[in-house]
A = this chain, B = another copy of it.
Amino acid sequence: MVSLSDKKEGIISRSWQRLNAFPGKIKKLGQDDSRRITHSLKVGLAITLVSFFYYFEPLYSGFGVSAMWAVLTVVVVFEFSVGATLGRGLNRGLATFMAGALGFGAHRLASLSGNKGEPILLALFVFIIAAAVTFVRFFPRIKARYDYGLLIFILTFCMITVSGYRDDELLEMAHKRIWTILIGGFTAVAVCILIFPVWAGDDLHNLVANNIEKLAIFLEGFGPEYFKILEDEEAPKKVSEGYKSLLNSKQSEESLANFARWEPRHGKFRFRHPWKHYLKIASLTRQCAYRIEALNGCLNEETQTPQEIRYKIEEASIKLCSESVNTLKELALAVRTMTPPTSANQHLISSKIAAKNLQSMLNTGLCKETDLLEVIPVATMAYLLVDVVSCTEKIADSIQELASLAKFKSTKKPEERQAQPNLCPNRSMQTNSGISIPAAQPNLCYQRSMQRNSSISIAPHHVIKIHQESPCLSVDPTLSKTTV
C-alpha cells in the first residue's frame, strides 16, 4: 500500500513539475521563432473570418450546410509558409475540381446501366480509382508535390460518385462545394500572404547561408583551440558545434525547396528562382560538415602530440583556417545579399596557397620526425584541413553557378570592388576567442574569375595528391591551373 501511494505521489509530483515547466516551454518556443506566435494568431483570424459565413444571413442561405467546407478548407490548408499554403490550396482546389468532374461522369455512366447495375458499377469505379490513385501516391516525385491533392482526389471522387447515387442535385452540390473551397482557400492564402508572410524560399535561402556560416564559425574557433593559443580556463569549449545541425538537415531542406517552388515572385526572388540548386549547395555544405565533424574529433584526441610537433605546422594551419573562414563567410554573405561571390574568390586562392604551404611543411618539417605515432594525428588533422579547402572550393563553385542561374547582381561598381578586396576583414577575422588574425594581404591575392575546371583535384577523403615542392608564399600566376 505504501509503495502504491508513493507511486501515486511520484506521478502527481512529476505531473506538477511538468505543468510548472509548461509556461517556460511555451515562452521558449515563442522566443526561438516569434513567427510561430504570429502564425497561430493568423490561423485564428482566418478561421474567424470564414466563420462569419454562418453569422450573416444572406451568405449562409446561399450555401447552407456547405458553408462548413469553407471552415474545413481554411483549417487544413493554412500552413506555416506561403509556399506550403499555396501548394495545399492549389492541390485541394484542382483535385476537387478534377475529381468532381470525373465523379460526375462516373455517376452518369453508372446511371445508364439501370437500377441493378448502378451500385455494382459505382462500387467498381470507387474501388479502381481509390486503389489506382493510392498506388500513384507511392511515386516519390509525385508524393513530394501532389500527395495532398491525390488524397483529396480520392475523397471527392468517392463522395461525389457515392452520394450521387442518392442525390440528383449533384451539380448544385458540386457548384456549392467548389465555391466554398475557393472562398476558404482564398481566405487562407490572403491572410497567409498579407499579414507577416513567412516565405519558404526566404527560409531556404537563409538556411543555406547560415549553414555555410556555421562551418566558418567552427573553423574560426578550431585553430586557436587545437594549437592551444589562448588557454582560458574559464571557457573550456570554444569551438561552436552549431554545424552538427547540418548533418541531418537534408529532409527539411528538401521540403522547404518543394514549398518554395509554389511561391510567386516575392522580395528578391523571381518566379522561377533556381530553388533546386540550393539543394546542391546544401548537399556540398553537408559534405564539408562531415569533414568538420572529423576535425572536431581531433580536438578530443587522447594522444597528446608534443607541442613542438604541432608548432611546426601551426602558422600554416592557422593561416589556412583563417582564409577558409574568410572564404566561407564571404560565400555566406554573397548568398545572403545575392551578390556574386567575387571577394570570396580572393580568399579561396589564399586558402589554396595556405593548403599548399601546409602540405609542403608536412613534407619538409614532419618527415624528420621518426616517431610516427606522434606525427600521424597531427598529419591527419592537417589533411582534413586541406580537405576542407577542397570542399570550400566546391561550395564556391556551386554558389558561382547559383549566382549565374539566379542572376545575382553586384551592388558595387567594378572599380570599387578592386579598391576594396576584402569586404569584411574585421568581422570575419575576429576569432571567437578574441584573437585577431591578419587578413589576406591584397598583394598576395589576385582577381580571378571562378572557373569550374580550376578546382583542386583532391579525392573525397583524406587523400591528397601532394607535389613535393618547396613552400610557396609568393603569388603563382599559374596557380589556378595547377593541382594544389
Contact = CB atoms under 8 A, between A and B. Distances in A.
Interface stretch (A1-9, A337-345, A461-469): A461-469
Given A47-B130, A162-B71, A459 B154 contact: no
A362 B296 CA distance: 24
A75 B158 contact: yes
Interface in A381-414: 383
A372 interface: yes
A366 interface: yes
A45 B124 CA distance: 10
Interface stretch (A48-56, A347-355, A425-433): A48-56
A251 interface: yes
Contact of A126 (B36, B51, B298, B376): B51
A25 B158 contact: no
A103 to B, nearest CB: 12
Contacts of A363: 372-373
A277 B248 CA distance: 19
Given A54-B166, A372-B379, A158 B71 contact: yes
A154 to B, nearest CB: 5
B130 A48 contact: yes
Given A40-B132, A151-B76, A367-B371, A55 B119 contact: yes
Nearest to A302: B465
A29 B463 contact: no
Contact of A248 (B166, B248, B380): B248
A139 B23 CA distance: 12
A373 B459 CA distance: 15
A459 B376 contact: no
Contact of A130 (B30, B44, B460): B44
A19 interface: no
B48 A466 contact: no
Contact of A48 (B29, B126, B371, B376): B126
